[in-house]
Structure 1
Amino acid sequence: MQRRLIASVLLGHYLSAFTALGIPLFMPRILADLAPDAPAWSIGVLFVLPTLCTALAAPLWGHFADRHGCRLSLLRAHAGLFAGFLLAGFSPSLELFVLALIIQGGFGGAMAASNAYLATQLAEGELSRTLNWTQYSARLALISGPILLGLLTAQGLGIELYRYLAWLPLLAFALILPLPADTPQHKPGTATAPGRLAELPADLLRLLGVQFLFSFAMVVTLPYFIPYGESLGLANDALIGLLYSLPHLVYLLALPWAQRQSANTLVAGLLLLALGNALQFFCDQAQWLFALRLLSGAGMLLGFVGLHRCLSQRRRQGVAGRLFGWFDASGKWAGTSAGLAAGLASQHYGNASPFLVACVAACAALLLARPLVLLSRELPA
């Protein structure tokens, strides 16, 4: 029963992640069809709008999950994504399309909802491993989504892609519907129990700070990776795309090995991530880039595995929704901030500068993470 539950949640998360993460890459083409006179800066605004809405809404949905049930909140996340994509697919104007993106982000959030539901069903050790697999499904969606959707856009499909993709989160909804419901810790409509906020981990802010800086360090180098590769003399788009995807491929291929490590790998992961970004900043020869991307991928993998272990050890009954809601919101705020920082850094200091920014962020995360890991040794694995 537990295997079926985990498989259903992971498959549902992959379907929603494929939907949400695969389409933004093609926003310029979709916007050109919908509103050809829209200014160029609107592409960036529409690109981050769902993420920004998710960041704002995630803590509220976490509170909803704790009061009404995490499975119900997960069903809401898949249904919200379905509604947002269906509306986007039939939008006749830019204004309605913007509303659809707001619905997609504000009522979505399948990652946090999936993890919160799993936290109500699994023991701590199993939860830590399963959190790594939800991240695995997101990485798989990041790689497979752009490739498969690129094949469809090559056939001339534009905004109608949204209406076709909408059926994937609806399928995810159907997968979750028969799963057992969790029991909220207090009945809806009653006052919050005294000390409920105290049940959140005491070092929650430190955990969220590490999540923010870690996510920021990973995302800030992505928006301008193509011009960075071209500045090193790479003219083949396929090769640049491969190098772009290498860290995600490391995660997909090496996760089973990383999960077998008994020690918390967060500090080692942040060290490798900082080193990989520093070396990419100073790199002036393209032939070194393959090895450096593998190094960054190893840092990302070990960082995620260690951070998920810290997160699962701080799970508390009755506040899983809020814990994972705040955790997801921290990552979404990091992604939004990283996009802005990448633009400013690249504009003023060159296409390699985001790697230096990422190195600084990883080093700052390292300073916060060490006490987090030391305390984690006193908690159950």
Structure 2
Amino acid sequence: MNAGPQAAASRSPENPGLDYAARHAQYWRRNLTVCVFGSFTTLVSLSMLLPFLPIYVQQLGVQSQAAVIQWSGIAFGATFLGTAITAPVWGRLADRFGRKPMLVRAAVGMAVVMSLIGVAHNVHQLVALRLLAGLVGGYSSASTVMVGTQAPKERAGWALGVLSTGALAGNLIGPLVGGFLPGWLGIRGTFFAGGAMIAVAALLTIFVVKEDFDRATGPRRRPVAHAATGAHHNNYPVIAALLLTAMMVLLANMSIEPVITVYVGGLGVQSAHLARVGGVVMACSALGSTLTAARLGALADRIGSWNVIVACLLLTGLVMVPQAFVHAWWQLAGLRAIMGMTLAGLLPSIAKLARQAVEEHKTGQMLGYLQSAQFSGQVVGPIIGGVIAVHLGLHSVFFITGSLLVACAGLAQWARRRQDVAVTRSLS
């Protein structure tokens, strides 16, 4: 990149590390497009195995139905666990060496591992490779770091909302693709096709994504502007509230997933159609989110992220309650779609605030912790939901998760007031 006087001034000792985003003013939209495509393809590849995962586990030598269910759950959750563990590490490395190398690493690593899953010989190798996909992958997480730091602050909510839409669309379409491809390519061939899709994303990342990364703005140098104001520095209670809220978003969405087919069966759906109807109901929350994620992200840019977070938490908590009183599957599907629409405003707004809660040279690490919290919710949510359903009944899952979301709204309101007080003190 041809750095002009403004860029040169921004890298001067008097102004270190202030405008990583400004240096990418002409690139961030193009990079966002590639990140959306890459997040979409990687999540399609990761989620497309849902319809045939139990069948593949059986082909790998697992016999009893109970063991098939157990190993399928372990294999599916292993990727999210791996991502939750390593997301902060990759975020910190992104601060040190640049965002683009992390994207390339994730895309190439996932393309290789996805193809290797197609040649697994036993279920232990399947689980190990799914875990490895999470450990070395995380393209969506790396995209959040890049987009969250390159987009201008006044457009960050919209950009993160668009990125979230691509990821949600991948989760929505993946199971549909997985329902058709094995019939054409076979199960192992489907994994090779998934690896090829991610390889395309890797090539686009290598040759299209642009980054002007200056290691002088790395963690060894603290931005003077933030040091002067102290508005966000060491505001750990606010950061903790953001991380907890992010975890709760995924926990609430996933809490009913393990038993949703059982719940749908209790609504009069015949066993022959149970799997298909259950899949439709599961997909409705992602469908709702794809419709509103970008719009709510843009709304956060206009009226403030805290306002969107508190409102969406309250609305989502309220929408959870009537799901316990439905009498037909289509009523549940409609409520899940509405819930997805309100949930969609949370993650982009939280990510925007997380970016602003720390000094610029630590934004990658902060967004890495945020991704870790989200994936932790995705792992813990089904476990908690299953435990509640077993001990307190299916309807209690909706009541308890709805109450937790309302409580998080109160926590977010407290965090906003604490942040306002910190800003006021820094300016006085």
**TM-score where L is the length of structure 2:** 0.80
Which of 367, 377, 384 does residue 341 from structure 1 map onto?
Answer: 384
Q: How far is the alpha carbon of 1:211 from its aligned partner?
A: 0.6
1:225 Cα offset (Å):
1.2
Aligned residue number for residue 183 of structure 1: 213
What residue in structure 1 maps to residue 283 of structure 2? Answer: 245
The whole-number CA distance in structure 1 between the counterparts of 2:349 and 2:149 is 21
- State which drifts further: 286-295 or 332-341: 286-295
Structure 2 counterpart of 1:22, one-letter code: M
Contact 2:158 2:296 in 1 (8 A): no
Secondary structure of the 1:137 match is helix
Please, which moves more after superposition, 174-183 or 42-51?
A: 174-183
Q: Is the 8 A contact 2:250 2:374 kept in 1?
A: yes
Deviation per residue, 1:163-196 (Å, 9 max, x gap):
22111221111111132234254599xx955799
Give the Cα–Cα distance (whole angstroms) in 2 for the partners of residues 96 and 244 of structure 1.
28
Structure 1 contact 120–182 (Cα < 8 Å) conserved:
no
Q: State the alpha-carbon separation in 1 of the partners of residues 343 and 181 from structure 2.
A: 30
CA separation of 1:89 and 1:201: change in aligned 2, threshold 3 A: farther
- CA offsets, 1:303-360, max 9 Å, x none? 3454344334436422122011100000111111112112222222333332223213
Query: Aligned letter for 2:414?
Result: P
Q: Matches of 1:63 and 1:90 in 2, distance apart?
A: 33
- The 3 A distance-change label for structure 1 pair 90 and 289 is closer
- How far is the alpha carbon of 1:97 from its aligned partner? 2.5
Partner of 1:314: 357
Look up the equivalent residue of 2:398 and give its one-letter code. Answer: F
Equivalent-residue separation in structure 1 for 2:83 and 2:348 (angstroms) = 23
Q: Distance in 2 between matches of 1:290 and 1:20?
A: 24
Kindly provide the amino acid, as one letter, of the partner of residue 196 in structure 2. W
Q: Does 1:298 align with 2:328?
A: no
Shifted more, 229-238 versus 218-227: the winner is: 229-238
Contact 2:169 2:290 in 1 (8 A): yes
Count of matched residue positions in the alignment of Structure 1 and Structure 2: 377
Aligned to 1:114: 143
Change (3 A) 1:374 1:64: same
C-alpha RMSD over aligned residues: 2.8
- Read off the aligned partner of 2:172 and give its amino acid letter: I
Alignment partner, residue 168 of structure 1: 197
Q: Which of residues 344, 369, 378 in structure 2 aligns to 1:326? A: 369
Counterparts in 2 of 1:256 and 1:339: CA distance versus 1, 3 Å = closer
Residue 152 in structure 1 maps to residue 181 in structure 2: yes
Shift of 1:16: 1.2
Q: Which stretch shows the higher mean deviation, 66-75 or 118-127?
A: 118-127
CA distance in 1, matches of 2:240, 2:55: 40
Measured after TM superposition, the shift of residue 286 of structure 1 is: 4.7
Provide the residue aligned with 1:363 in structure 2: 406
% of aligned pairs identical?
Answer: 20
- Asked whether the equivalents of residues 288 and 339 of structure 2 are also in contact (C-alpha less than 8 Å), the reply is no
Matching of residue 103 in structure 1 with residue 119 in structure 2? no
| Equivalent residue number for residue 31 of structure 2 | 5
What TM-score, normalized by structure 1, do the two folds share? Answer: 0.89
Report the Cα offset of residue 259 of structure 1: 4.2
Aligned to 1:84: 113
- Distance in 2, Cα, partners of 1:112 & 1:255: 17
Supply the distance in 2 between the matched residues of 1:13 and 1:315 (Cα, whole angstroms): 25
**Unpaired runs of at least 5, structure 2:** 1-25, 424-428
Report the equivalent of 1:222. 257
The match for 1:267 is 310
Q: Which amino acid aligns with 2:61?
A: A
Residue in structure 2 matched with residue 278 of structure 1 by the alignment: 321
Q: How far did residue 152 of structure 1 move? A: 1.6
Any conservation in 1 of the 2:250–2:378 contact (CA below 8 Å)?
yes
Structure having the higher Rg = 2
Query: After alignment, is 152-161 or 314-323 more displaced?
Result: 152-161
Is 1:52 paired with 2:81? yes
What SS does the aligned partner of 2:52 have?
A: helix
Is the Cα contact below 8 Å between 2:36 and 2:166 reproduced in 1? yes
Cross-structure match for 1:66: 95
Residue 258 of structure 1: aligned partner: 296
Task: Report the Cα offset of residue 78 of structure 1.
Answer: 0.9
Deviates more, 1:169-178 or 1:341-350: 341-350
- Partner Cα separation in structure 1 for residue 189 and residue 241 of structure 2: 43
- AA aligned to 2:269 is L
Q: 1:375 to 1:125 in 2, by over 3 A?
A: farther
Who is 1:133 aligned against? Answer: 162
Question: Does the CA contact (< 8 Å) of 1:267 and 1:369 recur in 2?
Answer: yes
Structure 2 counterpart of 1:14: 40
Query: 1:231-283: per-residue Cα shift (whole Å, max 9, x none)?
Result: 12233444443333222222222345434533231111111111111121243
Name the stretch that deviates more: 191-200 or 251-260: 191-200
Please say if residues 214 and 361 of structure 1, whose CA atoms lie closer than 8 Å, have aligned partners that are also in contact. Answer: no
Aligned AA (1:341): I
Give 1:350's aligned residue: 393
Say if 1:140 and 1:252, in contact at 8 Å, map to a contact too. yes
